[in-house]
Amino acid sequence: MAEKVVTRFAPSPTGYLHVGGARTALFNWLWARHNGGTFILRIEDTDQKRNTPTAMQQVINDLRWLGIDWDEGPQVGGPNGPYLQSQRRDIYDRYVERLLDEGKAYYCFETTEELDELRQQARQDSGGFAYQRPAEFPTRAQAEQARAEGRPVTVRFAVPQDQPLVVRDIVRGVISFQPGEITDFIIQKSDGFPTYNFACVVDDYLMRVTHVIRGQEHLMNTPGQQALWTALGFGPPPQYAHMSVTVSDSGGKLSKRERPNTLREALKTMADLDREALAKVGGITVEQLESFLAGESTPDMPAIGAMAAHLGVHLPEINIVDFFKSGYLPETMVNFLALLGWNPGDGREIMQLEELTAAFDIARVSKSNSLFDRNKLAAFNTEHMRRVDKDRLLGHFKAHLRQVASPLAAADDATLARIIRIAEGAQSLEHLDRKSRFLFIDADAIEFDPAAVKKVLQKPGAMEMLALIRQRLAATDEFTEQNLEGMLRGLAEDKQVGLGKVAQPLRVALCGTTVSLPIFDSVQMLGKQNTLARIDATVERFGEHTS
């Protein structure tokens, strides 16, 4: 009988879930589900300086939004818990002690400064730094003495150097690492916490993980982890599959730095930038803003987002929550991420989660880098917006509106469902929101697009047309779509102009831009009094500036 497939996703809760991490989680989930196996969520929170409970909850929220559930892990439990590494220290300590007792690991006492000096010396000697294993390993008594003296005490694994370390990778094939390429590395830090390389080996063994599917940046960790696996007597290691890098349109790795870099470059083009006001928006000091502009430091992501939103600078989506806020559907993201480095082999592209699960095969993952094509992602989203069940789309729309604190969040389900129906073909939930917000904000809060004002309202005859529209709307008792359409088309016929010459001035007057919901629906949903009031306000504001 074949061994049951067990995969895991093990994020560090140090920030938002990056799209690359989401892809890793998805591939592990798909492989487990395809094989009727077990998918584990494990939180690798051994970096006590960088971990935050907020980040862990955000990762969980993002996975649930994508539709990725887990059989074992936080908020679910399971037979192999706890699932936070910070709660498993006693487990790791036992295995560290085993290696120390068997002479397969040893204590080290160097300070950070001393290690820096060794690295500097290695650079001066034109060689790479490799920690030199002592001829005799320090004793436990010497380690206790070092602690008493206030020196940092770590534990290093003595990597076997008698033969090559061979990694057999499902994606990349057989890779050999010669003796000396992988040197002794720390498995327990001076604060008593295990390092990533050690904790993941122990956890993968105890949780019976059969497949480790992760990014290729972890490939260099694998020979050392396999050596640990052997040294601990764990038997055959899991099967490894290291996925290729996802690159942006520019060819570089899709990086979290793209968001602050985009804002920094935009700020450099703003000659009249009010630095004090912008720093206040971002919750930082003017000095911190200047440091950011100089490329010396980077504020946290909420500050970056707040400043960008204040200035109207669009930041590229990098984290899953960014795509949520930009109005992408979870169905879109799962479909798109699954095809980054993998394909079903039959030409299909638009696929539902059930189809992806049935077709997924880790052996079909490509070695080549995958392109994060944002145009393709947008096209996928338009198609999924069209295909998804309308009740499900309504739920997605409501969640999006709450997330971005849209005025539209106050609308009832019937209104939102109508917006979805009449705006069929929208590219994203954000587009639906932007097209509809004018219905739920005060007239004096409307932001007029300067291009729309110039193109439409400042054209000769625009104010006169608005006056005629107002006159006929005021005389219309029943504000039904049919009556409104008849009235506006009748006005166009009377003036011997196309409907656009009537509809566009009205559209800009009502919502401030040339893009909105269909005009007849817009007027009917806004209501008679609000429509007349907005026409009056527009004429008062722009009438004197037209010729």
Residue partners of 529: CB distance under 8 A and separation at least 6: none
- C-alpha 460/C-alpha 481 separation (Å) is 28
Residues of the chain with CATH 1.10.10.350: 442-545
CATH topology of domain 442-545: Arc Repressor Mutant, subunit A (1.10.10)
What are the Cα distances from residue 103, in Å, to 130, 190, 195?
20, 19, 19
- C-alpha 490/C-alpha 213 separation (Å) is 64
What are the Cα distances from residue 169, in Å, to 40, 218, 241, 288, 367?
21, 12, 5, 45, 11
Of 256, 325, 459, 528, which residue is the catalytic one?
A: 256
Query: Looking at the predicted structure, is the pLDDT value of residue 51 above 80?
Result: no
Question: If pLDDT is split at 50, 70 and 90, which confidence band does 119 have?
Answer: confident
What is the pTM assigned to this prediction? 0.91
User: What pLDDT, on a 0 to 100 scale, did the predictor assign at position 425?
Assistant: 85
Tell me the pLDDT tens digit for each residue of 62-105: 999 999 999 999 999 999 999 999 999 999 999 999 999 999 99
b (16+ CB within 10 A) / e for 383-400 = bbbeebeeeebbebbbeb
Task: Tell me the CATH number for domain 88-243.
Answer: 3.40.50.620
Tell me the pLDDT tens digit for each residue of 171-210: 999 999 999 999 999 999 999 999 999 999 999 999 999 9
Is residue 45 within 8 Å of residue 12, measured between CB atoms?
yes
Tell me which CATH homologous superfamily contains domain 258-317: lambda repressor-like DNA-binding domains (1.10.260.40)
Residues of the chain with CATH 3.40.50.620: 88-243
Residues of the chain with CATH 1.10.260.40: 258-317
User: What pLDDT, on a 0 to 100 scale, did the predictor assign at position 249?
Assistant: 81
What are the Cα distances from residue 224, in Å, to 25, 74, 204, 230?
23, 28, 14, 10
Question: If pLDDT is split at 50, 70 and 90, which confidence band does 281 have?
Answer: very high
Tell me the pLDDT tens digit for each residue of 352-399: 999 999 999 999 999 999 999 999 999 999 999 999 999 999 999 999
256 catalytic residue (yes or no): yes
Question: If pLDDT is split at 50, 70 and 90, which confidence band does 544 have?
Answer: low
**Helix, strand, coil percent content, the chain, rounded in steps of 5:** 55, 10, 35
Strands 6-9 and 38-41: parallel
**Mean of pLDDT over the chain:** 94
- C-alpha 370/C-alpha 364 separation (Å) is 13
Residue partners of 1: CB distance under 8 A and separation at least 6: none
Question: If pLDDT is split at 50, 70 and 90, which confidence band does 547 have?
Answer: very low
User: What pLDDT, on a 0 to 100 scale, did the predictor assign at position 2?
Assistant: 65
Mean pLDDT, rounded, for 157-181: 96
Tell me the pLDDT tens digit for each residue of 474-519: 998 889 989 999 999 999 999 999 999 999 999 999 999 998 899 9
